[in-house]
Amino acid sequence: MDDLDEMLSQQQQYYRERARDYDAWINNYLLPAEKKFEELVNSSPLTGDILEMACGSGYWTERISRVAHHVTALDGSQEMLDIVDGRQLPNVSTAQADLFNWNPPTQWDGIFFANWLAHVPDARFEQFWRTVSAALLPTGTVVIMDVAPAEKFIEEEVVDDSSLPIARRRLKDGRRFDIVKKYWEPEELLDRISPLGFTGKATPVGQEAGRGFVWYELE
Ligand code: SAM
């Protein structure tokens, strides 16, 4: 296992360990933009069979399941998926998958991921987008929610090496984990994914509350 594999495995462990507290945290974290997010989900193209990558505790899964025909929700952490399963959403199925080592078994009408792309290191970026392409029907769309640099205030410690930006996170018991955290400027991200075959628009969300969320709709 090289250093990057080791960090990505730490990243998975960090979220497994955090699963129990995560749902309350994400609800509170996204609260200032909750209404806007609801509008965006409701008017999004996430209506058919949808793949959600890195679903976490299901904050988005629940909202998307109200407009989608079916949601397949993947995450690396079984602890997170147990929370999603506990929501008992009739049109949602869950599966554990390491998204850096996952081959799509089928193709979906739409793909969604939130607060995930920031955790994809540059060295795995193109491979990740190849996986997204392979999982998407030719007519499909990709919707992303992620964070711009205005959200950096949530980090206690940032190691800003441009090739591998890292955030140092601490669990309640004091254990520390280094995770990949890239705060994309929307234009920078759109420029980076255009040669990989994805174009679209970015909508800033939460600016009036001093927040840096971004909603992307791509095709
Ligand atoms: N999308 C959810 C949300 O917005 O609340 C969760 C986002 S959370 C910041 C990142 C998620 O990525 C965690 O649920 C974690 O378990 C998952 N994760 C981390 N590494 C992963 C990997 N290699 N494969 C799949 N999921 C992974």
- Write the burial class of residue 126 (CB in 10 Å: 0-12 exposed, 13-18 middle, 19+ buried): middle
Predicted local distance difference test score (pLDDT) of residue 158: 86
User: Is the minimum distance from the CB of 212 to ligand 1 under 6 angstroms?
Assistant: no
pLDDT at residue 37 greater than cutoff 90: yes
Give me ligand 1 centre to Cα 12, in Å. Answer: 7
Q: What is the count of structural domains for the chain?
A: 1
Q: Which two tokens stand for residue 39?
A: 């509008």
Domain membership of residue 150 as a residue range: 3-218
pLDDT in tens, 46-77: 999 999 999 999 999 999 999 999 999 999 99
Predicted local distance difference test score (pLDDT) of residue 161: 74
Cα separation values, 176 from 9, 26, 155, 162, Å: 14, 20, 13, 21
**Ligand 1 atom with least separation from CA of 99:** 24
Sorting pLDDT into bands at 50, 70 and 90, what band is 6? very high
Residue nearest to atom 23 of ligand 1 (CA): 98
Separation CA 202–CA 205 (nearest Å)? 10
Regarding beta strands 136-147 and 213-218, do their DSSP bridges make them parallel or antiparallel, or are they unpaired?
A: antiparallel
pLDDT in tens, 124-136: 999 999 999 999 9
The one-letter amino acid at 66: R
- Residues near 127 by beta carbon (within 8 Å), at least 6 away in sequence: 100
pLDDT at residue 1 greater than cutoff 80: no
Sorting pLDDT into bands at 50, 70 and 90, what band is 28? very high
Q: Are 156 and 141 in contact (CB under 8 A)?
A: no
Q: In what order do the strands lie in the sheet with 157-159?
A: 157-159, 166-170, 176-180
pLDDT in tens, 70-125: 999 999 999 999 999 999 999 999 999 999 999 999 999 999 999 999 999 999 99
Residue nearest to atom 24 of ligand 1 (CA): 98
Q: Are 190 and 117 in contact (CB under 8 A)?
A: no
pLDDT in tens, 149-174: 999 999 988 887 778 999 999 998 99
CATH of the domain at 60: 3.40.50.150
